Amino acid sequence: MSANSYRQAYLYIDPRTKMLLVLCCGTLFNAQMGMVAEIAVFFVVFTIGLFVHGVKSAAKIFIFYSLAGLLPLILLHSIEGFMTIFFTALSTLVLIFTPAVYALNIITKTTTVSDSVSALRKMHLSDSVVIPIAVFFRFVPTLKEEWQSIRSAMKLRGIGTSFFNVVRRPILNMEYVLIPLMMSTANIAEELAAASMSRGLAKGVNRVPISEVKFRVADYIIIVGFPVMLAILYSLKQKGVIV
Amino acid sequence: MNQTKMKTKDLILAGAFLALYCVVSLGVIMVLGFTPITFLLVPLIVPIVVGPVFSLYLSKVPKSGAILILGIIVTLLSNSTGYIYGIIFGAIATVVAELIAKAGKYKSKQMFSISYMVFSLIYTTPYMMMTLARNAFMEKTAMISGQEFADVLASFVPNWIFYALIVLALIGAAIGSFFGQRVMKKHFEKAGIL
Amino acid sequence: MISIKNVSYSYLSNDELVQNLKDINLEINAGEVVVLCGESGSGKTTLTRVINGLIPNFYEGEMSGEVTVGGQNVTTQTLETTSKTVGSIFQNPRSQFFNVDTTGEVVFGCENLALPIEETLKRLKEVSDLFELENLLNRSIFELSGGEKQRIACASIYAVQPEVFVFDEPSSNLDVHSIELLRKAIEILVKNKKTVVIAEHRLYYLADLATRYVYMSEGKIQCEFSPAEMKSICPKQRKLMGLRNINFSNFSERKESVAFKESCSSKLHIEQLKVKYENTIALDISDLSIPLHTVVGIVGENGAGKSTFVNALVGLKKSNENIFLESKPIKKKERLKKGFMVMQEVGHQLFTQSVSEELKLNIPEENYDIVDEVIEKLSLTKFKDRHPMSLSGGEKQRVAIASAFCAGKEILMYDEPTSGLDYKNMIKTSELIKAVSQKSKCSILITHDLEFILSCCDYIVELKNGSVADSYDLDKEGINRICGYFKK
């Protein structure tokens, strides 16, 4: 994570708006929206991501999208045979899934834990749902760190390294990975719970966070504009006006 | 009665185990998702691998709602394509699993096993369309991966694939539950982390 | 301020009743800085948990007696209520923080108290100035060093303005520089007349701050010392009590090491070792010779490249390299095969359900008889069938080292093997490493524990900014040099 990740680059949008973003990208999954819609969705998310997450990550996604999604389409005319299937498959997958993946990335990298708790509470979800979800996001990077350490330890002992060995005794190798990870999770989770509770975190307790979660101009534009755009493009596709 | 309600400590532990469960599931799915055949084996294999995590989770948080939280998140993640019947099916499986565990007063290991078997049906939901809405599914696949791929898939995937996968998931969960209990005994109880 | 009356605590572990505290009576006045010291398992940590209410409101078990802090009964009230009076700082930076962003973490406690926003922001500014947080705010906590994380933790608790601060071995995972920052933070607390209770092994950094020492053993308070009394305990008595050294001026008993001649072939010669990390050069070592069959200590500040060095050497990191073992080139793959590292998180390295299984892991069957030999030699016989994860930190380390032995590893690295160890265990580790270094080719340890270095190292390599600043034997002059290095 770069130093910029917890500063929203130029624009701040409500976590709930970000969730709506993901849902809108999700409409592409049934492959009924058509290619124009898919590309339009990408550009909307890309623009939002540019201002919310930062230039660096937006640039990376753009390059990936162009090379793996758009380029194969352009090259489609000049190749034939087996490669056609591959290129079509690759391009379609990228076009359909990249916006959603990017939108999810925006959520996880630019939403603070405090904001996610506030947003979920504003949606009138009970703390029994809010707290586990907040902890979920807090925990995933920790799991990544633990996993890397365990992987190094496995390399040192020479277990789980060769593909052949793993396939030969799968259950044993699964144990090697799972056990340290599970023990680690159980320990860290307990420490985290003790620390948080001794600092006043409790179910049902009212918090006053310093960053207020509320809808602003940008949120309203996205909440209204994005679904409307999708609806228009969908009907145009059904009428056969666009591809 | 208050003993089975989730308190703050339980909620935090639940979040951590939720993360572990999802990350491990996702890891296995990504490995298996590459070829069509292994892709169909997900409902069998994932419940086996994740069995121990489920067992540890329930032994640390033997409370009302533990399974519900896990189930809702997993259902939503499995059905991100938005197939509404998949979500409903997953939600029902979750609730039933929770009720079964409740019937065992959140203590009975046998009930936990049965609960897990029902719970694991969530993993079959992404494949529901292949049986119940076969044409729509094939059209979609054709659009994504090309007509030839869809034809190949259609040729070896029978109509009753969904029901077959349900059976596979139940078998996988039974194995996973057994594996989970074994791991708990062999490691966690022995190490005194329980 | 704090009143502990007739407190006893026990809990079930593996169907056995463990009694952690036996009939504790202690009174602590406002403004005192009380250091709870004693061997591992003496009950220090448990006592801190009784003060901040985690026992019995979080940890299960049987507790009797009464604990009041500032007139409130922390045993019976909820943790949220107690959090207003007692702030707790724990030993593991990685698992204390609830947020991922530093600013959010600092205000976490205030937000939970539902203070009005202006008040919270005011306090944020206060603690930011007090603890010098300017370049730490608005960042991801995962980027911070251990010491910086503890500073954020201190600031976060301070913002809530509790009267009492409870620390549970806060310096365990910190290096020298970070410990100094921690000491400064505690100094600020003292200046502001807070009551501080610290359970600790490392006593030197608290020498000038403590107002009273409470020595615990086997769950009971054995005796108390004033700071003057503590400083005048003779080394023999101190070692019997299992306490670490309190100042660094008397390290007389230490035999000098044999000087290392660079020309002899019994060495690990690093002609070049470069590691890149995200377009910057994290490590650049050229022409370094490390003597074999000795214990080599690597010291350096946080970020100097110690971990990178050791990881690259053992073959876990990509590097540009030219390394020779006994005048023969040795590549990454071979180093991985021959090398082993005892990690800080030993738990990540133990994979099976019994110690003997662990030692037999991944070695050819013909070598199984070595296992029993090693178990004997390393005094692990009574743990033979125990689950590795049920052992204490020091015992787990021994199992990890034993596993390296059985696997025939020749290049051994140790990453901070003594963090959180009391005196007796530190000495045990030191003797073990010395014994092992005779049999294996190369023994390299990363440490900032001066007592430990003087106890077992023969050669020192100082790293700074990714390259070697100095390397020398631990002869008389070397000893002065290393003591000087730590005094800075």
More confident: B55 or C326? B55
More confident: B82 or C70? C70
pLDDT digits (tens, 9 = 90+) for C99-155: 888 999 999 999 999 899 999 999 999 999 888 888 888 888 888 887 788 889 989
More confident: A132 or A94? A132
* Mean pLDDT to the nearest integer, B12-31: 89
Q: List B residues 44-73 in contact with A (Cβ-Cβ < 8 A).
A: 49, 52-53, 56, 60, 65, 69, 72-73
CA angle B4, B5, B9 (to 5 degrees): 105
3-state secondary structure C37-95: EECCCCCHHHHHHHHCCHHHHCCCCEEEEEEEECCEECCCCCHHHHCCCEEEECCCHHH
Please tell me whether the peptide bond between A141 and the residue prior to it is cis, using omega within 30 degrees of 0. no
Q: According to the model, what pLDDT value does residue B1 have?
A: 47
pLDDT bin (cut points 50, 70, 90) of residue C244 is confident
**ipTM > 0.90 for the complex:** no
- Average pLDDT over all residues of chain A: 83
Quick check: B35 pLDDT over 80?
Answer: no
Q: Helix, strand, or coil here: C369? A: helix
| In a domain? residue A8 | no
pLDDT bin (cut points 50, 70, 90) of residue C257 is low
Please report how many Cα atoms fall inside a 13 Å half-sphere around the Cα of residue B66, on the Cβ side.
34
Query: Are the Cβ atoms of C100 and A137 closer than 8 angstroms?
Result: yes
Single out the residue of C2, C38, A189, C173 nearest to residue C153, CA to CA. C173
A43 shares its domain with A106: yes
Q: Are C285 and C269 in contact (CB under 8 A)?
A: no
Quick check: A4 pLDDT over 50?
Answer: no
User: How many distinct structural domains can be found in chain C?
Assistant: 2
A130 shares its domain with A164: yes
Residue C363 touches chain A, beta carbons under 8 Å: no
More confident: C177 or C219? C219
Distance from CA of A141 to the nearest CA of B (A): 10
User: How many distinct structural domains can be found in chain B?
Assistant: 1
Query: Are the Cβ atoms of A112 and C94 closer than 8 angstroms?
Result: no
* Mean pLDDT to the nearest integer, C242-268: 64
Quick check: C253 pLDDT over 60?
Answer: no
| In a domain? residue A172 | yes
pLDDT digits (tens, 9 = 90+) for A187-234: 999 999 999 999 989 888 888 888 888 888 889 999 999 999 988 888
Tell me the count of B-C CB pairs closer than 8 A: 17
Domain span at A146:
117-197
pLDDT digits (tens, 9 = 90+) for C260-296: 665 566 778 888 888 887 777 888 888 888 888 889 9
Chain C residue nearest residue B186, CA to CA = C353
**Rounded-to-integer distance, Cα A31 and Cα A115, Å:** 33
| Sheet with C62-69, side-by-side order of all strands | C16-28, C2-13, C62-69, C72-73
Among B2, B4, B8, pick the best mutation site for testing chain A contact (most A Cβ within 10 A): B8
**How far from A209 is each of A119, A155, B25, C200, CA to CA, in Å?**
11, 44, 34, 34
- Domain boundary among the residues C201, C221, C241 is at C241
In chain C, % of residues over pLDDT 70: 96
- Domain boundary among the residues C182, C210, C241 is at C241
Quick check: C367 pLDDT over 50?
Answer: yes
A157 shares its domain with A230: no
pLDDT bin (cut points 50, 70, 90) of residue C440 is confident
C131 shares its domain with C192: yes
| In a domain? residue C252 | no
Place of tokens 């806060």: C170
Please give the backbone phi and psi of residue C117, each rounded to the nearest 5 degrees, phi first: -55, -40
pLDDT bin (cut points 50, 70, 90) of residue C33 is very high
More confident: A21 or B3? A21
Q: List A residues 38-77 in contact with B (Cβ-Cβ < 8 A).
A: none
**How far from C217 is each of C16, C45, C47, C243, C278, CA to CA, in Å?**
20, 12, 12, 11, 49
pLDDT digits (tens, 9 = 90+) for C178-209: 888 888 889 989 998 999 999 998 888 888 89
C235 shares its domain with C91: yes
C208 shares its domain with C298: no
**Rounded-to-integer distance, Cα C352 and Cα B137, Å:** 45
Q: According to the model, what pLDDT value does residue C280 have?
A: 77
3-state secondary structure chain B: CHHHCCCHHHHHHHHHHHHHHHHHHHHHHHHHCCCHHHHHCHHHHHHHHHHHHHHHHHHHCCCCCHHHHHHHHHHHHHCCCCCHHHHHHHHHHHHHHHHHHHHCCCCCHHHHHHHHHHHHHHHHHHHHHHHHCHHHHHHHHHHHHCHHHHHHHHHHCCCCHHHHHHHHHHHHHHHHHHHHHHHHHHHHHHHCCC
Q: According to the model, what pLDDT value does residue A3 have?
A: 32
C149 shares its domain with C26: yes
Residue B7 touches chain C, beta carbons under 8 Å: no
Partner residue facing B192 (CB), from C13, C58, C353: C13
| In a domain? residue A29 | yes
User: How many distinct structural domains can be found in chain A?
Assistant: 2
* Mean pLDDT to the nearest integer, B21-27: 89
Quick check: A5 pLDDT over 60?
Answer: no
A217 shares its domain with A108: yes
Distance from CA of B69 to the nearest CA of C (A): 20
Query: Are the Cβ atoms of C389 and B193 closer than 8 angstroms?
Result: yes
| In a domain? residue C256 | no
CATH of the domain at C388: 3.40.50.300
Q: B41-55, C158-172, C435-449, C474-488: which range is least confident on average?
A: C474-488
More confident: A42 or C237? A42
Domain span at B117:
2-191
- Domain boundary among the residues C241, C264, C284 is at C241
Domain span at C65:
2-241
Partner residue facing C345 (CB), from A149, A176, A209: A149
**Rounded-to-integer distance, Cα B184 and Cα C387, Å:** 12
C169 shares its domain with C296: no
Q: According to the model, what pLDDT value does residue B148 have?
A: 66
- Average pLDDT over all residues of chain B: 82
* Mean pLDDT to the nearest integer, B106-117: 86
A26 shares its domain with A42: yes
**How far from A91 is each of A30, B143, C466, CA to CA, in Å?**
15, 11, 44
**Rounded-to-integer distance, Cα B42 and Cα C356, Å:** 35
Partner residue facing A193 (CB), from B12, B65, B179: B12
